[in-house]
Amino acid sequence: MNQNIGTDLGLNFDNDYDRLPNYLLSKVAPEPVASPELILTNDSYAKSLDLNFSKVSLKSLTKIFSGNVLPKDSESVAFAYAGHQFGFFTVLGDGRAVSLGEHKTKKNIKVDIQLKGSGKTPYSRQGDGRAALGPVLREYIISEAMFGLGIPTTRCLAVVKTGEDVIREKPLPGAVLTRVASSYIRVGTFQYLALKKDIGGLEELVDYTINRHFIKLKNSENPALELLKAVIKKQIDLVVSWMRVGFVHGVLNTDNVAVSGETIDYGPCAFLDSYNKQAVFSSIDSSGRYSFGNQPIITHWNLLRFAETLLPLIHKDQKTALKIAADVFEGFEDMFKKAWLSMMMKKIGLSKEEVGDDILIKKLLDWMEKHSADFTNTFVFLTTGKSFNNKVYGKRDFLDWCDLWKSRLLRSKNKDEFKILMGENNPIIIPRNQVVEEVLDGVLSNNNLVSLFNFLDVLLDPYNIKHNGSYYQKTPKDGGLNYKTFCGT
């Protein structure tokens, strides 16, 4: 039942998605939980969404964020979509997530608010629709870290312990995560409509997506084609940003690609310690499909699948549509390389490209891989002159590279600019995998929320030089390449 507490909180639902073809969603209510306990709220983020937690009692907040009470004007639905998972097409949907609605801020910015782990939906198949506390907190931590790093991402508003166990390999404490996205429109959403061969519905989804995310394209002569180009650019920018900080998504299926250009679905993701292009942390990625270095290739592949769904709208004649789309993708590799090179140049303090800059960068990355040097800390060392494990930076081949780099810096027109560029593009702190595990273990074993709060504070300030040499910057002895993550967030 709907309650006025949502209005008191500041929720302002303006729901349009349910006007799309009805098979794109199923109306379903969250399943109530026995003894909900609100353990974490993101007050600063809530304030940016014009939500005021202080106006609502803890009891009322707990009811909303557990799913035990639906706020006023919410439209509780689970979304249907399809997707290529590890290259294989399948029909999917929100198996353990229920969206409360589209909240509109005072600046007319819309976001979708979703409860994850809130019970079964029509898309749950054999699942229980629930989530465990550990993976829920992990998504909260990583998504906040991504925000702090300046990378587009979904974010979280709250975590509620359900008071009930979920059964995985063993009983685990259950939780519900409230997460927020610019929207949950995925490449897989378009694939679902393409599967239905509903051209009218596809046009509606294109219009909705343009109105929601790409309003400048509204009066385009060929909206579907311009949408394709815009999404390609968004995804290139996003994945280049991931590679700037050593992020490995881990399960970059088409259903995990948001057309808004946000990072979505933090399952078996992780961050590089030692640099290695083949780094894979997901326990289910035995082939290395979603390795760190493969992310540009997979992004290209995923976007081709997106383009396939739009072909009927790009041109009525299929051959002509294919030719137009092929022309768009002909420049993809160069676009990605250009964006990647620009990013890497900034990491070493360069803004204007010279012939040979790509070779200089490749030599550094090759050196890092050869010596299993830490990705983040190597750039911290170049930026500040200080870092963990300074011994590796005393090696002759590294010093030789530094001589080449310094000579290149001297040729830059603005000799002081490099300090600013490097400071802005090289974080001191990332969510180190072992630190994440230690913090989670502290919460799960000892209810140590203080360490969690401290960690979150640092992750929101990752470029601050004061964190250099801190506990959060320490590296694993084995370089971290044996670290494994699991689906189930």
The answer to whether the beta carbons of residues 254 and 301 sit under 8 Å apart is no
Q: Which residues pair with 88 in a beta bridge?
A: 85
Residue 402's φ and ψ, nearest 5 degrees, are: -60, -35
Give the span between the Cα atoms of 345 and 229, in whole angstroms.
25
Joined tokens for residue 370: 């050869």
* Torsion region of 73: left, alpha or beta (phi above 0 gives left; psi -120 to 50 gives alpha): left
Beta strands in 258-394 (DSSP E): 270-271
Q: Which of 255, 273, 285, 374 is catalytic?
A: 255
Q: Which residues pair with 35 in a beta bridge?
A: none
Q: Which residues pair with 176 in a beta bridge?
A: 160
- The counts of H helices and E strands in the chain are 16, 13
The answer to whether the beta carbons of residues 33 and 176 sit under 8 Å apart is yes
In three-state form (DSSP H/G/I as H, E/B as E, the rest C), the secondary structure along 355-382 is CCHHHHHHHHHHHHHHHCCEHHHHHHHH
Per the listing, tokens 């019970």 go with 119
DSSP for 97-140, please give it. Answer: EEEEEEEE-TT--EEEEEEESB---TT-TTS-SBEEHHHHHHHH
Q: Which amino acid makes up residue 169? A: E
The answer to whether the beta carbons of residues 25 and 18 sit under 8 Å apart is yes
Beta strands in 130-234 (DSSP E): 131-132, 155-167, 171-181
Q: Which residues pair with 160 in a beta bridge?
A: 38, 176
Joined tokens for residue 39: 């353990």
- Tell me whether residue 273 is one of the annotated catalytic residues: no
Residue 248: which residues within 8 A CB-CB, separation 6 or more?
242, 269, 270, 271, 272, 279, 280, 281, 290, 291, 292, 295
Closest CA to 175 of 56, 316, 292, 65: 65
Q: At what angle do helices 318-330 and 295-314 cross, to 10 degrees?
A: 150
Residues with catalytic function: 255
